[in-house]
Structure 1
Amino acid sequence: MKLCFVCSAGGHFTEALRLYQDLECNGFFITFPSENLVGRKERIYRVVDVRRNPLRFFMAFFQILFILLKEGVDVVISTGAGLAVPACYIGKIMGKKVVHLEIGCNVTRPSFSGRLIYHIADLFIVEWKGLLKYYPKAKYGGLLI
């Protein structure tokens, strides 16, 4: 089974990396370019940073579509922000399983990407029990890190 981890750089990437390492899986990452990623041994595709800009979103959409078609993934796993929304929707349209983790930085309120992905996710996991009131079908998973 091939997994695609999609996330923003920084904390979102750190949590996705931890999950990737714990699963010891066949997978790769889609994220934004970042100095923190230089020299990493994992397979990482870097796409344009969307920053809620329609033109950049359009560009990232097609970059992600190309990557997912090329790689033939089975599951798209997101830890949120920027790229999560287009990647999860593309994955869902392609008939892939979509998993979203609402990560630790969102303690009391749903994230923007979480609100958009919740309704299409096959599995939606929250790290904080308080978020279950916003996401009644979610599973509580506790902290990843």
Structure 2
Amino acid sequence: MKIMLVTSAGGHLAQLLPLDDWWRAHARSWVTFRRPEVEAALASEEVTWCYFPTTRNIPNAFKNLLLAWPTLRRFRPDVVVSVGAGVSVPFFVVAKLLQIHTVYIECFDRITMPTLSGRLCYPLSDVFCVQWEEQMRYYPDAINIGPIL
């Protein structure tokens, strides 16, 4: 299986790294921000650097939408997996257009309020996961996988 992991830096990336027993068993590619700590964490990985900042930044959302098309077509993943934030939305839109499966994991630290990216990706997700029972209130069709961290 080929996986594309799409994530913001910091805590979002930190939520995907503990899943390495799973993602290391597959061909994979990452999409994230070029930051020193990210370059160190993903030094041996294939990475496409996306445009930052993304949260409520319309010009960069558009740039990332334009980046998503050739990136997804080149790697041709079986599934796109994301924990957010804003960079997930354009990649999920293009993934749906290309009929690529999508899995979204709502953030660990947003227990009582949904994230903007989560709300936008929920209808675009083939599988939507939450980490807390309280998050099911906003995403009734989600799967509660429990805390990753």
TM-score class, shorter-chain normalisation, is over 0.9
Give the % identical residues: 32
- Does residue 41 of the first structure (1) align with residue 40 of the second (2)? no
Question: Match for residue 67 of structure 2?
Answer: 63
Picking from 137, 140, 143, the partner of 2:141 is 137
Q: Which amino acid aligns with 1:28?
A: S
Give the drift of 1:28.
1.3
Structure 2 counterpart SS, 1:18: helix
1:11 deviation in Å?
Answer: 1.0
| Shift of residue 121, structure 1, vs aligned partner | 0.7
Question: What is the deviation of 1:111?
Answer: 0.6
Equivalent position of 1:124 in the other structure: 128
Asked if 1 retains the 8 angstrom alpha-carbon contact of 2:56 and 2:86, the reply is: yes
Q: TM-score, normalised by structure 2?
A: 0.91
Structure 1 residue 4: Cα displacement = 0.4
Separation (CA, whole Å) in 1 of partners of 2:26 and 2:17:
11
What does residue 116 of structure 2 align with?
A: 112
1:22 aligns with 2:25: no
* SS in structure 1 of the partner of residue 136 of structure 2: helix
2:12 corresponds to 1:12: yes
Aligned residues: 144
CA distance in 1, matches of 2:125, 2:74: 22
Cα RMSD between the aligned structures?
1.1
Deviation, 1:131, is: 0.7
CA–CA separation in structure 1 for the residues paired with 2:82 and 2:57? 20
> Which ranges of 4 or more aligned residues in structure 1 deviate by more than 4 Å?
none
SS of residue paired to 1:70: helix
Matches of 1:53 and 1:113, distance apart in 2: 13
Contiguous gaps of at least 5 residues in structure 2: none
User: 1:118, 1:53 → 2: CA distance?
Assistant: 20
TM-score by length of 1: 0.94
Give the drift of 1:47: 1.1
Q: Any unmatched runs of 5+ in structure 1?
A: none
Of stretches 35-44 and 78-87 in structure 1, the one that deviates more from structure 2 is 35-44
Amino acid at match of 1:10: G
